[in-house]
Amino acid sequence: MLRVASPGVTTLAAFILILCGCGLESEKIRTYALGERVQAGPLVYDAFDTRWFLTLGPPSSPRIPASRFLIVHLDVANGGATEANIPTLSLIDDSGQTINELTDGTAVPDWIGVARKILPMQEQKGNVAFDAPPRHYKLRVTDETDQIVAYIDLPLTFGTDEKGP
């Protein structure tokens, strides 16, 4: 005899399958170590240094963060055949909270800016800055369509608190 599941059981089973599918999708997003090259569409990211600062700028008129400044030094290369935009970057902490990069580069050394276009076969080097409490983060790397491609692990390491460069 063939038994047909009740609508409630069918709905529950469908919901579980959807949840499992979402979990599998997020597992496909790889986390790279600091210093590893990350391919995101035509762009190749290489974040290789992080530094924490209590202030930025000259001692006579320092820029003070709400928490601390995290400066991430990176190189971005365009391996594509056309001009590309380097998307805005963000941090994700271990609890899932997101912190967007600063849009004001005042006193950020070698700041790469916010509106970032990169020509084919060129690279752009510089720093992005975040106002963030000291903790472990991952840098979210997206492609030109803002789809998450990978994360770069940014371990919480610093010796002494530094005053800005």
Confidence band, pLDDT 50/70/90 cuts, at residue 147 = confident
Q: What mean pLDDT, rounded, does the chain reach?
A: 84
In the DSSP assignment, the letter for residue 87 is P
Confidence band, pLDDT 50/70/90 cuts, at residue 115 = confident
Residue 15 — φ and ψ, nearest 5°? -60, -45
Q: How far apart are CA 55 and CA 68, in angstroms?
A: 7
Both tokens assigned to 71: 């400066």
Q: What is the pLDDT of residues 81-95, one digit of tens each?
A: 999 999 999 999 999
- Average pLDDT for 75-83: 94
Quick check: 51 pLDDT over 70? yes
Nearest in space to 148 (alpha carbons), one of 98, 106, 111: 98
8 Å CB contact between 140 and 92: yes
Q: Structurally, what CATH architecture does the domain formed by 31-154 represent?
A: Sandwich (2.60)
Residues 70-103: b if buried by 16+ CB within 10 A, e if exposed: bbbbbebbbebeeebebbebbbbeeeeeebebbe
Domain residue ranges in the chain: 31-154
Quick check: 118 pLDDT over 50? yes
Q: Is the pTM of this model over 0.75?
A: yes
